[in-house]
Structure 1
Amino acid sequence: MNTFLLIAGLLVAAVIFFAVYRLITVKRQGRKLNAERFERVKALYDKLESGQPLTGPDVLPFAENVLTRELTYQLLSDYKRTDLFPEQYYTIVQAAESNLANWLEFPTELDACPDEMKHVQRVSIDFDGQHNFVHYEVFRCRVNEPHWAAKDGWFLGVVGPYFDDSKPYDFPHATFSRISSKADQITAEEEAMWVHQNISMRR
């Protein structure tokens, strides 16, 4: 009996130790990633903060980059300079692509920005049966070797929900990718519905 209790206690202690270690590691990785993200837009931030002259061509490289596009718009919004944001990137699809890329980059998800991302379609779901729709943007993504997910090929990622009156850079609260959802084995509609039911509706 004492041996059993000792083993059980050791197992519980091991689980607790792993959970605490994982939490600390994820927090440390998150801080590091946030610092890296800030560095990517620091040149733009410095100009905004110091009041230096800023033009559309100055902003364009930051908007073109899928990893800095969303943060660039947020920075310009904070400084009331969204007039400088390139019109071609002021769409829900362009914003959703950037949001998904940043979500996938997080260490607990793909831990990388996809090497390729392609918008598949918008999926609209009547969430209450009264013709009130929410919308999800679905993307196909893939990474190159040597990333561990390269062997799986294209996978799906979903960003949303958006509403009929949503603006492009409104924050989507249910961005998600199962990563294992292979694009040739499940439809965009099925994946969007899964995210709607299991992520969006449970928040």
Structure 2
Amino acid sequence: MFLSTVVIAIIAFIIAVAGFFLYKNYAFRNAGKKIANARYERIESLHHQLENKQTPSPEEMHRYVSNLLTREMTFLLLKKYNKTQLFPKEFYTIEKAAASNLAGWLEFPTELDACPDELEHIKRVILSLYDAQSEMYYEVFRFRINQPHWAAKNGWMLGVVGPYSTTSQPYDPPQATFSRLSKLSDNVTPEEEVQWVHETIYKAH
């Protein structure tokens, strides 16, 4: 009788754990779908113009690329339609591309769940691995978000995007965009953050 009770308890526990992970998986996929839809809505008008062979005005293009959340998607959309010549040259840099990529990553529900209110480039950190041909680098940013967001108390936090190489082009997809939401007040240096991301995120791919 006691054994049966234990077995039933174990089975109930396994079912509960399985149900929890199934729910988390469903919630994650549902959140991903919602954010994908929201991101498309931001560039839907531009997509329709390109699809109908219309040319967006310079003012429209500047509005899209000035927004961190639409800059990267705008370039990729223009690339799809062979219209990258419309992309404003001052935004065609790895630093500008990396900033947009980080903002999009932070917006995802499993991360910051929002676009930062402020995001600034700090520096480029170079990793000389073996020789000049294998040199890699990361772009490091600081960002913060206002109340009532739960992370507002952190103040300025670090974010890392990369790695890039000497042959990288702006808007090439980085493989290790990440933030531990480390506070700058914790005296974590950009170099330390890059080393952690390179070893823990990039090398895990």
What is the TM-score normalised by the length of structure 1? 0.95
Q: Take 2:55 and 2:170, find their aligned partners in 1: how far apart are those partners?
A: 26
Tell me, yes or no, if structure 1 residue 177 matches structure 2 residue 152: no
Alpha-carbon distance between aligned partners in 2 of 1:91 and 1:57, rounded to the nearest angstrom? 20
1:103 and 2:105 are equivalent in the alignment: yes
- 3-state SS, counterpart of residue 35 of structure 1: helix
Question: Which position in structure 2 is the counterpart of 1:50?
Answer: 52
Structure 2 SS opposite 1:112: coil
Answer yes or no: is 1:30 the counterpart of 2:3. Answer: no
Which of 139, 142, 145 aligns to 1:140? It is 142
What is the CA distance between 1:5 and its match in structure 2? 2.5
Separation in structure 2 between the aligned mates of residue 117 and residue 42 of structure 1, nearest angstrom: 25
Match of residue 189, structure 2, among 187, 190, 203: 187
Query: Structure 2: how far apart are the matches of 1:136 and 1:100?
Result: 12
After the TM superposition, which of the residue ranges 20-29 and 8-17 deviates more from structure 2? 8-17
* Matched length: 201
Inter-partner Cα distance in structure 2 for 1:20 and 1:67: 30
Structure 1 segments of 4 or more deviating over 6 A?
none
SS state at 1:160 partner: strand
- Output aligned runs, 1:1-203, within 5 Å: 1-127=3-129, 129-131=130-132, 132-179=134-181, 181-185=182-186, 186-203=188-205
Q: 2 CA distance for matches of 1:184 and 1:121?
A: 17
Aligned counterparts of 1:26 and 1:119: Cα–Cα separation in 2: 30
Which amino acid in structure 2 is aligned with residue 41 of structure 1?
A: I
Structure 1 counterpart of 2:183, one-letter code:
K
Question: Shift of the alpha carbon at 1:148?
Answer: 0.8
Gaps of 5+ in 2: none
| Structure number with higher helix proportion | 2
Q: More displaced, 94-103 or 181-190?
A: 181-190
Deviation at 1:130, TM superposition (A): 3.1
Give the RMSD, CA atoms, in angstroms.
Answer: 1.1
Q: CA deviation at 1:182?
A: 1.1
Q: Aligned partner of 1:175: which letter?
A: T
One-letter identity of the residue aligned with 2:185: D
For residue 164 of structure 1, report the CA deviation from its aligned partner. 0.6
Shift of 1:68: 0.1
> Aligned partner of 2:152: which letter?
A
Using the size of structure 2 for normalisation, the TM-score is 0.94
Distance 1:152 1:53 in 2: 43
Shift of 1:31: 0.6
CA distance in 2, matches of 1:3, 1:170: 57
Equivalents in 1 of 2:9, 2:135: separation in Å? Answer: 53
